[in-house]
Amino acid sequence: MAPGIVQLELFQGFLPTRVQDALEERFGSMNLVEPRREDYLGAARLGRACRSAGLQLGVIDSLIAQLAIGHGLTLLTTDRDFTHAARHIPLKIWTPPTAAQ
């Protein structure tokens, strides 16, 4: 499952056409997670919680985090904003295994 907003961010990226086509094909079979009213309210709460901890989590990132939390999903990301935010909100982040494990 993936939030539609995540797919939008992926699909509008500057990628070669063949990579873009492959992404669209792979994501085309995934179920979409779409926000409900309570997700927007939850995203606002997450943003405030991060701000009170001295972090700025953007509006879209707050919504993505809320969708992951609300649906019990683990977020796969390379965006360090999420990594920092996960220290202050109940967001599960996937991290690749290290060589030491």
Residue 10 lies in a domain: yes
The CA radius of gyration of the chain, in Å to the nearest whole number, is: 15
pLDDT single digits (tens) 16-62 = 889 888 888 888 888 889 999 999 999 999 999 999 999 999 999 99
Residue 58: inside a domain, yes or no?
Answer: yes
* Range of the structural domain that residue 27 is part of: 2-94
Q: Where are the alpha helices (DSSP H) in 1-101?
A: 4-11, 17-27, 37-52, 59-70, 80-85
Is residue 33 within 8 A of residue 3, CB to CB? The reply is yes
Report the predicted TM-score, pTM, of the whole model to 2 decimal places: 0.82
Domain with residue 38: its CATH number is 3.40.50.1010
- In a domain, residue 101? The reply is no
- Within a domain: residue 99? no
In the chain, the number of structural domains is 1
**DSSP bridge pairs for 3:** 33
